[in-house]
Structure 1
């Protein structure tokens, strides 16, 4: 198996965890199977960079060194807000030469500024998706997933999602067992699906201003197995179904059905991760009614059936 060079691009104001998280994954793979990855870090002039948290990182080389990267990793951080034209120019010239182009968090802003994301479906940290879409209309921005893979380009959301993406890349390169060994060593799950939402329904939705609607939100979260149709929820809020649906969407930013769908999915996920309950029992408790209905919801939202999700994300029993 040919050794792959993984090159991390460094700059002042980089987010340290955007670098160290994926780096530890690739380094873990090299520990498991020596000779698989050659990991390098480079800044424009080869000088140390100061991260956004104050940590100083010393690169291995400057960006003027001969380019031989298989995987080019561009992290994010405050330094992406006003990028150096020299850095953007280097990415524009060398990015197309990498077999795999990866961004972590707001590193996607650098890639977009270099014209490397045009026509691609991508993601970034939820707080910066609007800016990415506004400043780069040729880029298809999906604000929901923790990472997105579009051909040779892979982009991840905020900070720790870079670890999830790196594990997925290692699994592609070296197989599930190696990736699983790294995940266990780092004490993280293998692996959150890329299309898992960046945050929960309760965080994704705004909190309604009016108390009857806030009470409905609380009720949904506490009773996912109940009848949560618009008529039942409207009655709880003492509103007509049409008025309730319109007011709920206006005040929370999503329809009642979408909110219920997210809450039920999260409830089922927690039960699969934290309890030994069977799929049939969980489907009833989460409001799906049948295992088949829950399976369809999981495959649609997470790309994995409930049994596969549990196998991936429940920690292995202690030996």
Structure 2
């Protein structure tokens, strides 16, 4: 049964997913209608990942009703060859309203090829949805339908440059797991749709249910939207310079070691000025900024696994609790304690 959209309330500062709007609870007995708009050639995990999150939430007490719709109401076949049945056409007058519209991705969307009727269905359903979200290349459908004009968005890292070039009014974040701009959400590649869906469940039903869902699906952790799609070492091209390559490996292997400019330059047998030039050329950052980024990621992992701020600061080389707090606020916009709270139950 379709439901009347709820009204948003202000997020609680420092709460888990504090950057997400906390939606008002659904009226007693009402259910939030979630519609997945699938289409011929959609990527299977883009469809099933979010649906598993919302169906698990419903099974565990969340008030969700789930439908899979297609542009013309016909059954479709995904990229994996799996056939999915449709609950109806996306352009139908019913439901008169829905809570969440989800749009999956497909490689052909990144090439500007949209299945017949898809964009009309996106516009029709989004006009009646409380919020609209895309998974991976589904952002291209939202953008082509005109929903993302002048907004922030993200997509799979392979396609962020294409999305930005094709839709110059967009502000594309090439690194985020997911991005929210008012009631529009876009997420990165494939599994990021699960992260986004967990965040949406938490916004609706609170952190306890979201963490129960994460445990049920054996998801190690709920990644916040601003977290990078890749770790610092993984997204840094391997430098051709032997000494610099060795330094990057040392920093990744032991973030807590002495990685001051003087120490790095001595180990590399280079002057500080020369080493700084090499870092800028090959990593796009100064040595200090690169080390801070690696230590921040290490600190995130320690906190997610339940370590205290004091232990985390010491084991990552950040130093003091206050230094850790400043780094988290500057780079992530949350305190270490708020970040740790996000994972307190999912990692048990």
Q: TM-score, normalised by structure 1?
A: 0.91
Per the alignment, residue 296 of structure 1 pairs with 326
SS at match of 2:73: coil
Cα distance change of structure 1 residues 316 and 80 upon mapping to structure 2, 3 Å threshold: closer
8 Å contact kept, 1:148–1:195: yes
Cα distance change of structure 1 residues 46 and 89 upon mapping to structure 2, 3 Å threshold: closer
The structure whose RCO (Cα within 8 Å, separation 6+) is larger is 2
Per the alignment, residue 80 of structure 2 pairs with 53
- What's the offset of the Cα at 1:249? 2.2
Residue 285 (structure 1) aligned with residue 315 (structure 2) = yes
CA distance in 1 between partners of 2:103 and 2:83 (Å): 17
- What's the offset of the Cα at 1:273? 3.8
Residue 70 (structure 1) aligned with residue 99 (structure 2) = yes
- What's the offset of the Cα at 1:314? 5.0
- What's the offset of the Cα at 1:301? 3.3
The structure that is helix-richer by fraction is: 1
Residue 168 (structure 1) aligned with residue 199 (structure 2) = yes
CA deviation string 1:77-113 (max 9, x = no partner): 2242321353123323442332101011111011111
1:19 aligned residue (47, 65, 69) = 47
Cα distance change of structure 1 residues 316 and 71 upon mapping to structure 2, 3 Å threshold: closer
Per the alignment, residue 58 of structure 2 pairs with 30
8 Å contact kept, 2:71–2:116: no
8 Å contact kept, 2:313–2:321: yes
8 Å contact kept, 1:189–1:314: no
8 Å contact kept, 2:212–2:346: no
2:242 aligned residue (193, 206, 211) = 211
Structure 1: gaps of 5 or more residues: none
RMSD: 2.1
Q: TM-score, normalised by structure 2?
A: 0.84
CA distance in 2 between partners of 1:316 and 1:10 (Å): 30
- What's the offset of the Cα at 1:316? 5.7
8 Å contact kept, 2:90–2:122: no
Per the alignment, residue 122 of structure 2 pairs with 91
CA distance in 1 between partners of 2:124 and 2:308 (Å): 53
CA distance in 2 between partners of 1:154 and 1:117 (Å): 10
8 Å contact kept, 2:211–2:346: no
CA distance in 2 between partners of 1:254 and 1:83 (Å): 39
Per the alignment, residue 291 of structure 2 pairs with 260
- What's the offset of the Cα at 1:184? 1.5
CA deviation string 1:210-258 (max 9, x = no partner): 1011011012112312332333323322222232222222223443233
- Higher mean alpha-carbon deviation, 40-49 vs 292-301, is at 292-301
CA distance in 2 between partners of 1:212 and 1:261 (Å): 20
- Higher mean alpha-carbon deviation, 258-267 vs 91-100, is at 91-100
Cα distance change of structure 1 residues 52 and 301 upon mapping to structure 2, 3 Å threshold: farther
1:147 aligned residue (178, 181, 192) = 178
CA distance in 1 between partners of 2:73 and 2:189 (Å): 26
Cα distance change of structure 1 residues 201 and 54 upon mapping to structure 2, 3 Å threshold: same
8 Å contact kept, 2:77–2:83: yes
Per the alignment, residue 41 of structure 1 pairs with 68
CA distance in 2 between partners of 1:249 and 1:89 (Å): 46
Cα distance change of structure 1 residues 189 and 249 upon mapping to structure 2, 3 Å threshold: same
Deviant stretches of 4+, over 6 Å: none
Per the alignment, residue 263 of structure 2 pairs with 232
- What's the offset of the Cα at 1:132? 0.7
> Number of aligned pairs?
316
